[in-house]
Amino acid sequence: MWPQDCIIHKRDGGELSRKEIYRFITDYTSGNIPDYQAAAWLMAVYLQGMTARETTDLALAMAHSGRIADLSTVPGIKVDKHSTGGIADTTTLIVVPLVAAAGVPVAKMSGRGLGFTGGTLDKLEAIPGFSTQLTPNRFLQQIRQHGAAVMGQTTDLAPADKLLYALRDATGTVESLPLIAASIMSKKIAAGADAVVLDVKYGDGAFMKTPVQARQLAQQMVDIGTLAGLPTCAVLTSMEAPLGTAIGNSLEIDEAVETLAGKGNSRLKAVVEEIGSRMLYMAHCTDTVAAGREKLQAVWKSGAGLKKFKELIRAQGGETGWIGKHALTQAPFVYTAVSTEGGYITAIKAKTLGEIAMRMGAGRSKKEDAVQPMVGIRLFKELYDPVRPGEPLFTLYSMTEDNLPQLALQVAAAITVDAQLPNNPASVIGGSIEATI
């Protein structure tokens, strides 16, 4: 009896056929399978796991539950990138214009932030006039004309994933690696790119807490891409500390502009180089990843990346007159705290800072919440930097002066200053994953 047979088959450790998976996803999306039976199926998958082939079929079934974007009218190999989310992760805002300036078209469909991880759309919409609501035709036209575009995910993109994700959240099955991998890759497949570079985070400010967990997830997603005919690689990056120094929507736009102009901190620049060089390589723009790094650095140094960023902002209706003149962030209340100790920054609790910024209004605890574009935290130091007593440590940007001293104490408590650096400071790059199937 359907769908009980499919649920029992997986519950007892069986390997589901492609026909079973496609039928289950199709029937659930069309309303022919109720939530309670889908919940039982999800729990069976959570407990028994899935093979690489099953997980790929699940990703493909969810991708084909809606429209598959057709990017064939855009010349060249279109490369996408995806981050599993973290604190002060401004990578997309920097790497997209750099890669586009190097001649590789980038079609980026992004989401909004939920919880302490900021969404790319929220950040871009902090720019006055910037629109992320593009029609498919305008999206394609902009990529052809300007080399890149960033838009919000449409409702017809992998609708089965949206339904299953909501159910996973309510049934305690969010942590299943096959379900996470299939969810992410279903949207990447549906987005229509020719290749994908994944940025899989681990640590205090990430969903995956250890490098081992991140590597397992990355390998599953790379295997899905390979089996689905979508060239995919992954980079593992640390979120033990914030990636950049800006936590908040307009603040991260400011940091992106600074970094494209040649400034910026070393951790953020290292991740941008790692992701960007692989995007150029995956697009056959260079013969090796090392050559991709050299090309990306040359584009960066020439200023072409910042020029392209301004071009993309204008193409999507945003104002650029402030760039090079003043910061975008103009909050009515600011509070700067100084260090009371001297030494080195040996730890910054990324999750704690993300949660504080969310409470200030930079993020949302429910998807219906609005965000305040101009609030957040700007650090003056990054992990392993030296600091002197009395030196500025961070600034809070707020729409109200209420509780700013108390919030500053909480931020300060999340930053550790020691007399010496650790013997072996951890790199922000934790390795890479290539296809093995």
CATH class of 79-322: alpha beta
Is 144 among the residues known to form the active site?
A: no
Distance of CA 108 to the CA centre of its chain: 11
Question: What is the average per-residue pLDDT within 25-36?
Answer: 96
The residue type of 427 is: S
Q: Specify the CATH architecture of the domain 3-49.
A: Up-down Bundle (1.20)
Domains 79-322 and 333-418 share a fold: no
Q: What integer pLDDT is reported at residue 153 of this predicted model?
A: 80
| Mean pLDDT within 92-112 | 94
The Cα–Cα gap between 275 and 117 comes to 19
176 is catalytic: no
pLDDT score of 174:
87
Point out the catalytic residue in the list 168, 269, 349, 381: 168
Percentage of the chain lying above the pLDDT 70 cut = 97
Strand pairing class (148-152; 106-110): parallel
Q: Which of the following CATH numbers is that of domain 333-418: 2.40.70.10, 3.40.220.10, 3.90.1170.30, 3.40.50.300?
A: 3.90.1170.30
Q: Give per-residue pLDDT as tens, 173-228.
A: 988 999 999 999 999 999 999 999 999 999 988 889 999 999 999 999 999 999 99
Could you say which of 23, 187, 201, 269 is catalytic?
187
Cβ-Cβ contacts under 8 Å for 96 (sequence gap 6 or more): 81, 106, 108, 148, 150, 312
Model pTM? Answer: 0.94
Residue 82 falls in the annotated catalytic set: yes
Nearest to 353 by CA among 121, 117, 112, 93: 117
pLDDT score of 118? 64
Reply yes or no on whether the pLDDT at 117 is more than 60: no
Can 223 be counted among the known catalytic residues? no
At residue 402 the predicted structure's pLDDT band, cuts being 50, 70 and 90, is confident
pLDDT digits (tens, 9 = 90+) for 37-86: 999 999 999 999 999 999 999 999 999 999 999 999 999 999 999 999 88
Q: From the centroid of its chain, how far is CA 138?
A: 23
Exactly one of 161, 194, 204, 223 is catalytic; name it: 161
Taking the C-alpha atoms of residue 14 and residue 48, their distance in angstroms, rounded to an integer, is 8
Tens digits of residue pLDDT in 322-362: 999 999 999 999 999 999 999 999 999 999 999 999 999 98
The percent of residues in the chain predicted with pLDDT above 90, rounded, is: 86
Mind listing the pLDDT tens digit for each residue in 145-182?
999 999 988 888 899 998 998 899 889 898 899 999 99
161 assigned to active site? yes
- Give the active site residue among 65, 83, 110, 183: 183
Tell me, rounded to whole angstroms, the distance of Cα 353 from its chain centroid: 18
Overall size of the chain counted in residues: 437
Confidence band, pLDDT 50/70/90 cuts, at residue 113: low
Who wins on pLDDT, 300 or 115?
300
List the catalytic residue out of 82, 351, 364, 378. Answer: 82
Give residue limits of the domains in the chain. Answer: 3-49, 79-322, 333-418
